[in-house]
Structure 1
Amino acid sequence: MTTDAGRAAVPAVPGVVTAEQIVETARSIAAVQEPDGGVPWPEGHVDAWNHVECLMAMTVAGLTAEARRGYDWLVRHQRDDGSWPMKTVRGEAVEKNGESNHAAYIAVGVWHELLVTRDEDFARAMWPVVRKALDFVVDLQTARGEIVWERSASGSPAEYALLTCCSSIYQGLRCGVLLGEHLGEPQPDWELAADRLGHVLAAHPEAFADKSRFSMDWYYPILGGAVRGDQARERLDEEWDTFVVPGLGIRCVSDQPWVTGAETCELALALDAMGETERALALYRDMQHLRHDNGSYWTGWQFVNERPFPNEQSAYTAAAVILAADALSGATPAAGLFREAGRYSIPVTDPDTCGCSPAASRT
């Protein structure tokens, strides 16, 4: 079908969602976009990671003008060190620390936008923003290779790294490398940082704070591309019954009767990236009970109380639905974004002999 941008190839997943429904879902994101271009959480704050994900989804559905307003927001709010405030409300920073994974995701968004729209001028205009952001990220890498999760407003790096965040950062660094090569400005330091980070993600779980009750820590090393092959299959099989609730989706946390749409769609993306298309489709189909009449999606479902939890529809959930539809349907030139994330994954080296420093001291 034709979209606002005059472009065909809107995703549709036969028997699950139509192209018209995908556009409706994208419009539910645009409906909450603020006048300055920010796409907030339901509680009202904007963070750069979820904001970028929403822009990617709107681009997939052809809402290019709305997406570009969102990229303008990122340009205006990026700080001199390359980061964004952790939380921004109505244009004002309310939590001023800068998260490394928030900064890294701009590279995924700009690379995705280039793949879909082929707009070279946009990519070149955004390149200084990406370069500053990824330099901020790489500066937070430790001697062993993990990247700590934030830098405080006073300039102090955090004392630990997070597995989910680093998995997303890995994809961001790989997209940044591809973008730099495309623009004739290769960044070997980012490539080296990605190699080191990928090794730690695959071989050194001790490098990260324990957040294993969260499903994201389970599948994100696969989604981000650092883990593939037999290791990925073993990882998924190990916790499948812990997190997957047949017919409903996946739990956000292992110890609560609560399935969430965004996490379910992200696991579907991870499965698709591994070539597990049937399991991906089944999960994607299962989570459609969260669809609202206006095309938005409830954030989650508490299946003991049998009611939405929290009582909200979130733009980031709608965005994950759209990106998963694109991957499953192959509709846009960016449909393989998450599959391609694992192209450069490195075979796991024995952690007992790899020589990595056990300390997380920074370089």
Structure 2
Amino acid sequence: MISHAEVVRTAESIAAIQQDDGGVPWPEGHVDAWNHVECLMAMSVAGLGEPVRRGYAWLARHQRPDGSWPMKLVDGVATEQGGETNHAAYVAAGLWHHHLVTGDQAFTEEHWPMVKAALDYVAGLQTERGEIVWERDAHGVASTLALLTGCSSIHQGLRCGVLLADHLGDPQPHWELAADRLAHVLVAHPEAFADKSRFSMDWYYPVLGGAVRGRQAFELLEREWATFVVPGLGIRCVSDQPWVTGAETCELVLALDALGDRERAVTLFTDVQHLRHEDGAYWTGWQFANRKHFPHERSGYTAAAVVLAADALLALTPGSGLFRDIVGTSVSDPETCGCAAGTGLVRRDDL
């Protein structure tokens, strides 16, 4: 485990890479809204109010009229114009987290219109079956592809948006319905999603995002535990490479914490501390066959995942239960999506 002072130092390593315009970049220099928000959440945990405010100003400045953000921006200029739905949805998780941590009602009210536009963009890309496609491209054309990890994160964003809406007295029942329908698809319709099963995120994200909990969640994690978990090091990013990554490991820590599995959560969090640098930042990953950091970088989003996992385990802020408390029920009526699967967790291998 790490101390509160070490958590703050890690958050400060994120603030150190924030650009003058408020964006928090990837190591190669571009900014996307999802990772940007993750970094703002981590800085909120550490009480770094000024960088967080600049980060939300960045989001407000770059949101487009349809509610989305460009997929990638470099020095404030969009280099990839498509608008990803999971990027837009995570802004709701970020603002709700900020409200829980700070209680800043004025800040929440100020940025509520941004969240409303973002989640309406997301809900508008839900299919008849219930999955939400991953983007609307640069020409405004909706993709036909849905991603399981992205939709799991969207589920969390929609639930956070509902909580924000209720708190502010501006209910948005269509978001709750969209989240219910999405949860059902995540549980019962693996065929709705592109096959990315070699990525560990597709394994644990339905738990992390709150769509799968309880016995089904434990069964889901047990199914691929040996595939992805490398004892003493963390978890693999992909199943077929000898490469553990800090962000994925800490997200699994958050998923385990959400299930009350504290023992394994603490073990994994302790294991991944080999990626910590003396300045408080974290290496992105470790290639354990070659025994080298790979890629050779310390990324803000990895540091952010560490801070959020530490908060969950140590209860440093009132936002420490963000991932634990976001749970919703999926649609159980088969007529809603025309299936007969009910809410039993269906495996991709069963198809």
Cα-to-partner distance string for 1:233-288 (whole Å, 9 max, x where unaligned)? 11000000000000000000000000000000000000000010000000000000
Tell me by how many angstroms 1:336 deviates: 0.5
Q: Report the counterpart of residue 340 of structure 2 in structure 1.
A: 352
- Whole-angstrom distance in 2 between the partners of 1:115 and 1:23: 18
Q: Report the counterpart of residue 148 of structure 2 in structure 1.
A: 163
Q: Report the counterpart of residue 172 of structure 2 in structure 1.
A: 187
Residues 228 and 345 in structure 1, CA contact (< 8 A), matched pair in contact too: no
SS of 1:125's equivalent in the other structure is helix
Q: Which amino acid aligns with 1:345?
A: T
**Does residue 294 of the first structure (1) align with residue 282 of the second (2)?**
no
**Does residue 27 of the first structure (1) align with residue 12 of the second (2)?**
yes
SS of 1:32's equivalent in the other structure is coil
Normalised TM-score (structure 2): 0.95
Cα-to-partner distance string for 1:118-172 (whole Å, 9 max, x where unaligned)? 0000010001000000000001000000000000111100111000000000000
Residues 85 and 95 in structure 1, CA contact (< 8 A), matched pair in contact too: yes
- Whole-angstrom distance in 2 between the partners of 1:232 and 1:245: 20
- Whole-angstrom distance in 2 between the partners of 1:135 and 1:108: 15
**Does residue 272 of the first structure (1) align with residue 257 of the second (2)?**
yes
Tell me by how many angstroms 1:348 deviates: 6.0
- Whole-angstrom distance in 2 between the partners of 1:123 and 1:112: 10
- Whole-angstrom distance in 2 between the partners of 1:23 and 1:120: 24
SS of 1:113's equivalent in the other structure is helix
Residues 199 and 349 in structure 1, CA contact (< 8 A), matched pair in contact too: no
Q: Report the counterpart of residue 293 of structure 2 in structure 1.
A: 308
Q: Report the counterpart of residue 77 of structure 2 in structure 1.
A: 92
**Does residue 216 of the first structure (1) align with residue 201 of the second (2)?**
yes
- Whole-angstrom distance in 1 between the partners of 2:193 and 2:22: 34
Q: Report the counterpart of residue 111 of structure 2 in structure 1.
A: 126
- Whole-angstrom distance in 1 between the partners of 2:252 and 2:329: 19
Q: Report the counterpart of residue 326 of structure 1 in structure 2.
A: 311
Change beyond 3 A, Cα 1:306–1:140: same
Q: Report the counterpart of residue 247 of structure 1 in structure 2.
A: 232
Which of 188, 201, 205 aligns to 2:186? It is 201
Which of 102, 109, 131 aligns to 1:146? It is 131
Residues 254 and 312 in structure 2, CA contact (< 8 A), matched pair in contact too: yes
Residues 141 and 147 in structure 1, CA contact (< 8 A), matched pair in contact too: yes
SS of 2:79's equivalent in the other structure is strand
Q: Report the counterpart of residue 163 of structure 2 in structure 1.
A: 178
Q: Which amino acid aligns with 2:184?
A: H
**Does residue 42 of the first structure (1) align with residue 42 of the second (2)?**
no
Q: Report the counterpart of residue 220 of structure 2 in structure 1.
A: 235
Q: Which amino acid aligns with 2:249?
A: T
- Whole-angstrom distance in 2 between the partners of 1:283 and 1:347: 33
Residues 203 and 349 in structure 1, CA contact (< 8 A), matched pair in contact too: no
- Whole-angstrom distance in 2 between the partners of 1:121 and 1:352: 46
Which of 248, 259, 273 aligns to 2:244? It is 259
Cα-to-partner distance string for 1:65-102 (whole Å, 9 max, x where unaligned)? 11111000000000000000000000000000000000
Q: Report the counterpart of residue 3 of structure 1 in structure 2.
A: none
Residues 224 and 341 in structure 1, CA contact (< 8 A), matched pair in contact too: yes
Tell me by how many angstroms 1:346 deviates: 3.3
- Whole-angstrom distance in 2 between the partners of 1:353 and 1:324: 34
Q: Which amino acid aligns with 1:268?
A: V
RMSD: 1.2
- Whole-angstrom distance in 2 between the partners of 1:229 and 1:18: 30
Q: Which amino acid aligns with 1:352?
A: A
Residues 233 and 244 in structure 2, CA contact (< 8 A), matched pair in contact too: yes
Tell me by how many angstroms 1:352 deviates: 2.5
Point out 4+ residue stretches in structure 1 off by more than 4 angstroms: 347-351
- Whole-angstrom distance in 2 between the partners of 1:301 and 1:335: 27
Q: Report the counterpart of residue 349 of structure 2 in structure 1.
A: none
Q: Report the counterpart of residue 53 of structure 1 in structure 2.
A: 38
Tell me by how many angstroms 1:228 deviates: 0.5
Q: Tell me, which stretches of 5 or more residues in structure 2 are unaligned?
A: 344-351
Residues 225 and 345 in structure 1, CA contact (< 8 A), matched pair in contact too: no
Q: Tell me, which stretches of 5 or more residues in structure 1 are unaligned?
A: 1-15, 356-363
- Whole-angstrom distance in 2 between the partners of 1:322 and 1:209: 30
Tell me by how many angstroms 1:345 deviates: 2.9
- Whole-angstrom distance in 1 between the partners of 2:8 and 2:76: 27
